[in-house]
Structure 1
Amino acid sequence: MPEPGGRAHTLESSASMCWTLLFLAYSSSTFVNEFGHGWQAAWTVLLVLVPVCLAGAANIMDARRRAVPILAIYIAYILIPSLLQLTKPDDHSSLRSEMADLITVLCIWLPLEFKLLSSDISPTGKVTAWGLFTAALTVVKCFTILRPFQSWPTLVTWATLSR
């Protein structure tokens, strides 16, 4: 393990700060209203890759064994559910749309359930929850930002009428 401080500690601290800022941004209704519309929101996928790549960079620079495959698994873990949500049909009631949501949930949940996301992405060995952090942010991104809200005005109208 690297000594406390140094490059690994700096990159991991920066990654943790990115996690915090992304969770704050994704919980902002202004951000969601501005960027939560299908392909317009596609660039937000790159935002989730930033902390993961920062965390994995120290391992790659130190030429640790399996660093590149572990980072590639995390990147695929973020991209696959995102692409499923970005390419799903606009009709939320269609079977194809429902299946895309189900597969998205399974793509996020199964790697956590079967412990396929390595904790080795932590360059200092101090943070063991990188998979959980990545999963949580991927869920928020997929179902709050990327998922198109064509049915949202209907829900708002129904809530207003039911008062």
Structure 2
Amino acid sequence: MFNDQLETLYIKYHRELYLYAFSLCKDYHLAQDLTSETFFKAILSLDDNVTYIKYWLFRVCKNLFIDNARKDKEYSNTEGLEDTLTSAITPLDRLIESEDKKHLYNQVINLHHTYREILILYYYCDFTLNEICKTTGITTGSAKTLLFRARKKLKIKLEGKNEI
């Protein structure tokens, strides 16, 4: 029965979790590692009492990313980004099918990490503001402000006015 529950969780959340991990690290292979490590931790740690499993998975993924970044002091935000975005068919390519969506996603990826994270969670992972607050540990007011500022920055980038 436990295996069936894990399989259901994996099928339901692995794409969103991968997309979130990729938005954090911008590295195809590291995002895959973070996603699989998150589900490995789920196998080891989860019991039947976890009510907010989705948020728990995303929080574990973010913590794994932070741990990895601490271990690798020479982490670069742009390392491997061009190769990953232009490579052959990947799970990301299947998620983002049209050119407009790819352009939009590339603009989101190039935002500051706090703006990028909140936009990915809100629009790509369909989190509510309360869910974002639980996942990231910020207040509702901060989440609203970050989302507003992120949208504003993204609009400026999409209009081609990058001077701000």
- Higher RCO, 1 vs 2 (CA within 8 Å, ≥6 residues apart): 1
Larger radius of gyration: 1
TM value normalised by structure 2: 0.30
TM value normalised by structure 1: 0.30
